[in-house]
Every structure is written in C-alpha cells, then in structure tokens.
Amino acid sequence: MQKAWIYEEHGPKEVLELREIAVPRLKHNQLLVQVRAAALNPIDSKMRQRPIVPACFPMIPGCDMAGVVTKKGDSVLEFKIGDEVYGNIQDFCADEVKQLGTLAEFIVVEEHLVALKPKNLSFEEAASLPVAVQTAIQGFRTAGFKEGQSVFVVGGAGGYLFGASKVVATTSTAKLKFVKSLGADTVVDYTKTRYEDIKEKYDLVYDTVGDSKNSSIVAEDHAPIIDITWPPSNPRAIHSGLTVSGEILEKLRPYLESGVLKAVIDPAGPFHFSDVPQAFGYLETGRARGKVVVSSFPRQSPSLMTLLID
C-alpha cells in the first residue's frame, strides 16, 4: 500500500483526500518510480474542478514529477533500477488520461515520457520543469520560429533557447523584477501600459493567458500568434498544445547543466506532501512567482515481490 492524494468528484481543493491505495501494477514498457517531488500546474486544478476530460474516479492529480526508478518492465531498455528520472507522466494526446497522477508515493510511467535527471538539479528543481518547458517548446515549434526573430510573450518570459533577438514579456507590477530576472529584455506592466501604446511590432506573439484578441495589436502583419489556452480568443491565433516526450527533456540537458536554463520554484514552497490542498490553494490564487512544488514525500520501501507485471 502507499499514500496518495485522491478525489472522487469534481470540485474545489476540499474534495482532495489523503488515502492509502495499492501501489500500481507495472506494464512491460513502464517504470515504477518512487516520487521525491512533484509540481502543480493549472491543468491539474482545471481537471479537478470540472470535467474537461473524461475522468475515471478515484483520480490522483499531478503531471510533473522527479524520483527514483525502483522497478522496470521487461521491455524497458533505457533505464535501470536506481536511476534518478523526471518527466511529465500525463500524455494528453493518448487515448485516455491517466487515472493515477504524481501526487502519490509511487507512480508508473512509460519510459519514453521521462529522462535522466540532470545531476546538478535537485528533485524539486527537476520536477518543476517538464510541463512548462514542453509547452513552451511546442509553441515555438508550432510558430516555426527562426533564430534572430523577436517575440512578445503575454504572461511570462522565454525565447532564449531559440535564439530570439529580443524578448518582451508582460506581467503585473508586483512581478516586474521577477520576470526581468527570467531573461526578458523588456518587461511591460500590463496594469499601466495598453497594447495600443506599444509602437514596436514583433515576429511572434506567444500568449500564455488567453489574451490573443488584444495582444495581436503588437504582432507584425503576417506574424504568427500562438495561444496555449483553449479556445483561442482571436480567430487569427493558432492554438498550441503539449507534446509530451522524454526526448525533449534530454535535449535540454546541456542548457540545464550549463545554467542557461534554470528552474524557478516559488519561494512559498516547496510544500510538504501532507499540505497538498494548501499548495493547490496557493496555486489557484494566481500569485505564484515560479512553480508550485510539493516535496517531502513518504519514503516507504514496499516489497517488490508484490509489484506484479501485467
């Protein structure tokens, strides 16, 4: 048995319960991972709050994790027991959403969805990355972004991995210094500056908050507008989803190990495993400055003889 946070109906964070459930069975192409840290994402809240995807209760929330391989299926070739791995275990392009997420002591995950954790990252730092970086990279790929172009990011900062000539990001007054520290060349305070007042036009508008109807004002005439929310608020905007792959994470290794790409954990965390409802409550305030991370997972060692392979 293991401890896990579950919910059996949609609703606010109060529907979450800490229970003991069976350790999941392992399929031949999967790893059994003892979770050391997990990160919360807006999609985790949305899936709990309302039926945006078909759900089979009870559900364990969570997509992002970092942990240690404790058992592997017969067909797994890339990893061995004891490896420290990280990844997003929830492939939303699959036929169905996983019922068992990462807010549990143990999870099973297909080997192609994870990568070896960079040695210079803590479990908490590694867990904070997968959904965020996979979403960002997919958006730039969808746009066909080319080195030397400029990008206007609505609600964040990024672009340096793609050789952007200039990165401009919008944020609130309270987060100006924080977003500047993430690498933006210019930070626009959206509470004080209207899009109509921004004279420069950009080669890509990357919208993370669903404001493409207004942010298109700063796009060049034929520039792509990427909106990661659904549905896009502007008919001209292109929706960019999420490609989940351990290969993407592996390609980021040089940037992570050199410090070009850094994990940013909200200073309110990491939250303790026993405080998951509070962590969700904090995430849902919209005030986080970095990823909301859960750590201090229980460290039981179940008898591997009871972990059957289907």
Convert the pLDDT of each residue in 108-153 to its tens digit: 999 999 999 999 999 999 999 999 999 888 899 999 999 899 999 9
Report pLDDT for 300.
62
Report pLDDT for 161.
53
298 lies in some domain: yes
Give yes or no for a cis peptide into 254 (omega within 30° of 0). no
The parent domain of residue 164 ranges over 133-239
Residue after which a domain boundary falls, among 187, 205, 239: 239
235 lies in some domain: yes
Task: Say if residue 8 is in the same domain as residue 100.
Answer: yes
Task: Say if residue 188 is in the same domain as residue 155.
Answer: yes
Task: Say if residue 87 is in the same domain as residue 204.
Answer: no
Could you give the count of Cα atoms lying within 13 Å of 89 in the half-sphere of its Cβ? 32
Residue after which a domain boundary falls, among 193, 216, 239: 239
Question: Bigger pLDDT: 125 or 156?
Answer: 125
Instruction: Name the DSSP class of 213.
Output: H
Task: Say if residue 47 is in the same domain as residue 118.
Answer: yes
Task: Say if residue 19 is in the same domain as residue 117.
Answer: yes
247 lies in some domain: no
Average of pLDDT values for 67-87?
A: 96
Average of pLDDT values for 33-38?
A: 97
Task: Say if residue 25 is in the same domain as residue 79.
Answer: yes
Average of pLDDT values for 56-78?
A: 95
Task: Say if residue 206 is in the same domain as residue 286.
Answer: no
**What CATH number did the domain enclosing 202 receive?**
3.40.50.720
Task: Say if residue 120 is in the same domain as residue 137.
Answer: no
Task: Say if residue 156 is in the same domain as residue 221.
Answer: yes
Q: For a pLDDT cut of 90, what percent of the chain falls above it?
A: 63
244 lies in some domain: no
Report pLDDT for 159.
43
Task: Say if residue 225 is in the same domain as residue 137.
Answer: yes
246 lies in some domain: no
Report the alpha-carbon distance of residue 240 to residue 237 in Å, rounded.
9
pLDDT in tens, 181-215: 887 889 999 999 999 999 999 999 999 888 888 88
Average of pLDDT values for 269-296?
A: 94
Contact of 308 with 290, CB cutoff 8 Å: no
Report the alpha-carbon distance of residue 269 to residue 174 in Å, rounded.
19
Residue after which a domain boundary falls, among 239, 273, 294: 239
Segments of 120-198 assigned E as strands: 150-154, 166-171, 186-189
pLDDT in tens, 228-237: 888 888 889 9
CA angle 118, 59, 279 (to 5 degrees): 60
Instruction: Name the DSSP class of 301.
Output: -
Report pLDDT for 259.
87
User: Which structure tokens are listed for 43?
Assistant: 């999609």
User: Which structure tokens are listed for 118?
Assistant: 């960079």
Task: Say if residue 32 is in the same domain as residue 113.
Answer: yes
> Is residue 157 scored above 50 in pLDDT?
no
Report pLDDT for 301.
56
Per the structure, the count of domains in the chain is 2
Task: Say if residue 207 is in the same domain as residue 110.
Answer: no
245 lies in some domain: no
205 lies in some domain: yes
26 lies in some domain: yes
**What CATH number did the domain enclosing 12 receive?**
3.90.180.10
